[in-house]
């Protein structure tokens, strides 16, 4: 069985063959598999974020340098389960250079969505991007000061943790 065939089988984990194979594994092997699955899931959702940001950047009017990175800040959400920190579904900053802005700095140009605008912003935001950001936040919850950087030339999405200056 090659990699593609294995991936196709694993894509339907409720299929009898896959279920039987999983049941024959030892608990240690299942634990190891669970770790790998979470890491693979995280990477898959990161790639969705990268592809959606790339599509957004490609749709922007040309005229200057090509955007190379997008940054997402965190937002607090209240739910029945309590307060959670999620990735803000709005593109916080799209930069045309390699410098990493400190998005806590008020001099950085960032689009701020105020409560009255939230309904409108939810309508125009990319639902696939929102879903991917939400899934990433569930798999690896961000901290208050974290920023998610999407770097288009390397096709990478990774978290930058800022520490508050004391």
DSSP annotation string for 93-133:
EEESSS----TTSTTS------HHHHHHHHHHS-HHHHHHH
**What is the mean pLDDT of the segment spanning 151-156?**
91
Confidence band of 102 (pLDDT split at 50, 70, 90)? low
The pTM (predicted TM-score) of the whole model is: 0.76
Tell me which of 72 and 94 has the higher pLDDT. 72
Contact 111, 92 (CB under 8 A): yes
What does the pLDDT read at residue 157?
94
């Amino acid at each position: 069985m090659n990699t593609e065939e294995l991936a196709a089988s694993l894509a339907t984990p409720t299929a009898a063959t896959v279920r039987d194979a999983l049941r024959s594994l030892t608990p240690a092997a299942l634990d190891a598999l669970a770790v790998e699955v979470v890491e693979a899931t995280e990477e898959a959702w990161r790639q969705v974020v990268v592809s959606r940001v790339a599509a957004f950047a490609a749709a922007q009017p040309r005229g200057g340098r090509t955007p190379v990175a997008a940054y997402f800040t965190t937002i607090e959400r209240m739910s029945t389960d309590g307060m959670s920190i999620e990735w803000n579904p709005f593109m916080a900053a799209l930069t045309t250079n390699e410098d990493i802005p400190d998005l806590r700095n008020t001099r950085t140009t960032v689009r701020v969505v105020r409560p009255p605008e939230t309904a409108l912003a939810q309508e125009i935001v990319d639902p696939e991007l929102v879903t991917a950001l939400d899934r990433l936040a569930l798999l690896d919850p961000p901290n208050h000061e974290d920023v998610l950087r999407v770097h288009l030339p390397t096709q990478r999405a990774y978290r930058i943790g800022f520490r508050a200056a004391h």
